[in-house]
Copies of this chain bind each other. A is one copy, B any other.
Amino acid sequence: MSMEESAYVRPTFTKLPFDKKERILDVAIDEFSRCGYEKASINRMVGRLGIAKGSIFQYFGSKKNLYFHIFEHAVALVKRSLKRVKAGTEGEDFFIRLAKSLQAGIYFIRRYPRIYQIYLKMLFQEDFPFRADLLKTIRLFSIDYLRPIIEEGVADGQLREDLDPELAAFFLDAVLDRFLQAYCVAYMDSGLGLYQADEKAIEARIKDCIEMVRLGMAAGGPPASESVAKSMEHRA
């Protein structure tokens, strides 16, 4: 996870001792996650860091570059996390994979809550340039992640064979994303109690949600299965 060769960092920063680099990025991430891009203040950062303001501009050139560098870092973390889940669930049942992917999302947010905050705050602030690029990268990756899993599910006969993979990807993206949002933003959970819920509650709700994805809401379908619940128990 080296960030040395980032396009947004000047060599001066690269040569810094590791600890100092980490501290700087940590404070910057904290500031951006708390305030969003616009309200984040370089003055406040250097105040907390105890370094000169000029140094930040020596390291990154501009506020925007600093933000992009952090974003780049964040994207790398997400990609790595998704890759691991994908590889770690290869060949498993489609709905199990789905449940584990969602669970992994929750873990990621627990581990890097500030990074998820930064992402959320950027989501609908289309004003600043490159948002399109940033968003494109993330969303496209989410599709690149889901599509193959869906297609495998169809190939294996777990999903209806007439399933439109694009529609399914959109649908799953919607539900998974909202689940994560509900977990860490108040009033997004429609009273389900997802907001900052504990492990147990999350696990149960993931199971419920996946069941609903599986069977839909209409009456007259097949009965609810127990497979997701069973397989999730193992990893707690």
- On A, residues with C-beta under 8 Å from B are 34-36, 38-39, 95, 120-121, 123-127, 132, 135-136, 139-140, 142-143, 146, 153, 157-164, 166-171, 173-175, 177-179, 182, 185-192, 194, 205, 208-209, 212-222, 224
Q: With A175-B174, A185-B124 as given contacts, are A216 and B212 in contact (CB-CB < 8 Å)? A: yes
What residue of chain B has the Cβ atom nearest to residue A119's Cβ?
Answer: B124
B146, B158, B190, B213: the one within 8 Å of A143 (CB) = B190
Residues of B within 8 A of A167 (CB): 192, 205, 208-209, 212
Determine which residue in A34, A136, A185, A220 has the highest number of CB atoms from chain B within 10 A of its CB, and name it.
Answer: A220
Residues of B within 8 A of A158 (CB): 218-219
- The answer to whether A217 and B34 touch across the interface, beta carbons within 8 angstroms, is no
Residues of B within 8 A of A188 (CB): 135, 139
What residue of chain B has the Cβ atom nearest to residue A170's Cβ?
Answer: B190
Q: Within the complex, what minimum Cβ distance (angstroms) separates A221 from chain B? A: 5
- The answer to whether A187 and B140 touch across the interface, beta carbons within 8 angstroms, is yes
Q: Within the complex, what minimum Cβ distance (angstroms) separates A108 from chain B? A: 17
- The answer to whether A124 and B124 touch across the interface, beta carbons within 8 angstroms, is yes
- Complex formed: what's the CA distance from A177 to B174 in Å? 8
Residues of B within 8 A of A213 (CB): 216-217
Pick the 9 closest A-B CB pairs, nearest first.
A216-B216, A174-B178, A170-B190, A120-B124, A215-B216, A214-B218, A139-B187, A170-B192, A38-B38
B36, B170, B190, B212: the one within 8 Å of A189 (CB) = B170
- The answer to whether A215 and B218 touch across the interface, beta carbons within 8 angstroms, is yes
Residues of B within 8 A of A125 (CB): 36, 121, 125
- The answer to whether B166 and A191 touch across the interface, beta carbons within 8 angstroms, is yes
Residues of B within 8 A of A159 (CB): 217-219
